[in-house]
């Protein structure tokens, strides 16, 4: 009987990397690997990396340094780097960190079995191509093991927007959409294994334009087709670009019951001057009018966003325009960061805002966003919402799930199982979560 090999994967960054890590683990499962929660006893360590934040590559090299002892103790241990840092750095990773055996980009991980076999013969394996073949078509069918109640499903990759601060077009390539039929088949398979909520993923997911029955489908048509799957209770999608929120997708938020009332729609800045320098190709006014239209279609929708503070040449007036936009939108959630230069992007070569100024502005913005989040959460108290329960909480008999609006909700009741979708009355609001009690008897 062949002994299973152990695979440790550490995932950095976005939900798409989470999905990619799942598929890489499944792919290597065909080579006899099973996942382990620790690198200490692994036969292969795989870092699935993100290149969005500053000094991402240096953080990867630092992480690799921690594995030197493991490699010395077990010369047969294979160490790989995948994802966007792998795509950006390529051969340089092997040159700087000789303990690395394998480097694979995000568009090539379907070739992992061949690359892994190469390492077993004592060779270094490198693949950062943008292959012509569809990696999803080449990946083996997902194993039939039971799943938790939620899952990510990539439908689109890459980006054609070329925002001045972003490396995604260079590390993930041009926009590519998966055929609708393959997405629907994968969704059905996930539902058969216990999934009740699917989040559709893409670097620019609402630019989806996959081939389907009758021609090219947009994201709204894909969502409506997925909503017909029996057993699939909830659909979400992220991350979106304001320029690709078309009329049909806006309408879907009002007429598709399974599409949840939560939308992550990054704006990055409220200053038209900075938006132009970012190459966002929208204005603060067009963004605000878009939010109005979305709320007309679904009045209770929770809006989430992304903000970059201290973008090159940002003035105090530019920053105040961002604060004014935030005040106008009233975000339920948001993510905000100080600008970090990414080598090779246009913004990296421009005059930078002093770090202390950027940090002070970020603190002001985050204080306003936190205030809005608290207000939205407090407004939920007394309301009834749907909650999909996922796992036990910290207290005895407590379960934790996500509301329709993606709030974490804690309920103490012995009549709850993971995967249960229940009606809950919200009784209290904490710092980053809600408390509730069951109101149904299912």
Does 256 show up as a binding residue in the annotation? no
Does 84 show up as a binding residue in the annotation? yes
CA distance 45 to 47: 7
- List, in sequence order, every residue forming a beta bridge with 398; answer none if it has no partner: 412
Does 441 show up as a binding residue in the annotation? no
3-state secondary structure of 142: coil
Parallel, antiparallel or unpaired: strands 434-438 and 421-429: antiparallel
What pLDDT does 61 receive?
Answer: 87
148's CB contacts (< 8 A; 6+ apart) are: 194, 195, 390, 391, 418, 419
What DSSP state is assigned to residue 76? T
Predicted structure pTM score: 0.83
Indicate the domain borders of the chain.
5-127, 136-379, 384-438
5-127 belongs to which CATH class?
Answer: alpha beta
Asked whether 412 and 438 are in contact (CB, 8 A), the reply is no
CA distances in angstroms from 387 to 9, 91, 175, 427, 435, listed in the order given: 30, 47, 34, 14, 11
> Nearest 5°: phi and psi at 37?
-90, 0
> Nearest 5°: phi and psi at 85?
-65, -40
Helices 247-255 and 284-297, packing angle to 10 deg: 30
Q: For domain 136-379, which architecture applies?
A: Alpha-Beta Horseshoe (3.80)
Mean pLDDT of residues grouped by 10 in the chain (442 residues)?
81 84 88 91 92 74 90 93 87 91 88 91 88 62 75 92 90 89 95 96 95 96 98 96 97 98 98 98 98 98 98 98 98 95 89 96 98 97 97 92 98 92 96 92 52
What pLDDT does 136 receive?
Answer: 64
DSSP percent split of the chain into helix, strand, coil, nearest 5: 35, 25, 40
pLDDT in tens, 121-161: 999 999 887 765 566 666 666 566 678 899 999 999 889 99
Helices 247-255 and 219-226, packing angle to 10 deg: 30
What pLDDT does 1 receive?
Answer: 41
Does 338 show up as a binding residue in the annotation? no
CA distance 122 to 76: 9
Q: Going along 76-128, which residue ranges are E strands? A: 78-82, 102-104, 125-127
Q: For domain 384-438, which architecture applies?
A: Beta Barrel (2.40)
């Amino acid at each position: 009987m062949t002994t299973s090999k152990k695979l440790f994967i550490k995932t950095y960054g976005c939900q798409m990397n989470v999905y990619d890590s799942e598929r890489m683990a499944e792919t290597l499962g065909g080579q006899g690997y099973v996942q382990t929660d620790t690198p200490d006893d692994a036969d292969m360590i795989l870092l699935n990396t993100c290149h969005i934040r500053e000094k991402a590559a240096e953080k990867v090299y630092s992480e690799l340094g921690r594995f030197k002892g493991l490699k010395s103790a077990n010369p047969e241990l294979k160490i790989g780097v995948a994802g966007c840092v792998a795509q950006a750095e390529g051969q340089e990773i092997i040159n700087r960190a000789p303990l690395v055996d394998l480097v694979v980009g995000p568009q090539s991980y379907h070739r992992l079995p061949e690359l892994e076999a190469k390492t077993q013969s004592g060779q270094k394996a490198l693949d950062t191509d943008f292959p012509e073949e569809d990696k999803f078509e080449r990946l083996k069918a997902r194993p039939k093991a039971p799943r938790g109640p939620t899952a990510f499903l990539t439908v689109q990759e890459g980006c054609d927007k070329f925002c001045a601060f972003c490396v995604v077009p260079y590390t993930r390539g041009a926009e590519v959409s998966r055929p609708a039929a393959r997405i629907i088949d994968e969704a059905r398979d996930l539902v058969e294994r216990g999934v009740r909520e699917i989040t559709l993923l893409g670097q620019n997911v609402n630019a989806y334009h996959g081939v389907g029955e009758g021609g090219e489908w947009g994201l709204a048509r894909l969502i409506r087709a997925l909503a017909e799957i029996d057993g699939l209770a909830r659909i979400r999608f992220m991350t979106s670009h304001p320029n690709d929120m078309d009329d049909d997708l806006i309408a879907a938020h009002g007429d598709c019951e399974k599409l949840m009332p939560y939308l992550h729609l990054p704006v990055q800045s409220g200053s038209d001057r900075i938006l132009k320098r970012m190459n966002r190709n929208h204005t603060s006014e067009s963004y605000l009018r878009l939010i109005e239209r979305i709320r007309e279609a679904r009045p209770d929708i929770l809006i989430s966003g992304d903000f970059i503070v201290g973008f090159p040449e940002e003035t105090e007036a530019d920053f105040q325009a961002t604060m004014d936009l935030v005040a106008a939108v009233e975000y339920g959630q948001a993510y905000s960061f100080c600008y970090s230069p990414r080598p090779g992007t246009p913004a990296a070569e421009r005059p930078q805002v002093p770090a202390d100024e950027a940090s002070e502005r970020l603190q002001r913005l985050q204080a306003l966003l936190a205030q809005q989040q608290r207000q939205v959460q407090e407004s939920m108290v007394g309301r009834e919402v749907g909650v999909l329960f996922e796992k036990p909480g910290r207290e005895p008999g407590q379960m934790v799930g996500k509301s329709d609006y993606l709030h974490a909700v804690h309920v103490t009741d012995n009549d709850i199982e993971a995967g249960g979708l229940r009606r809950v009355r919200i009784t209290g609001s904490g710092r980053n979560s809600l408390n509730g009690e069951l109101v149904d008897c299912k």
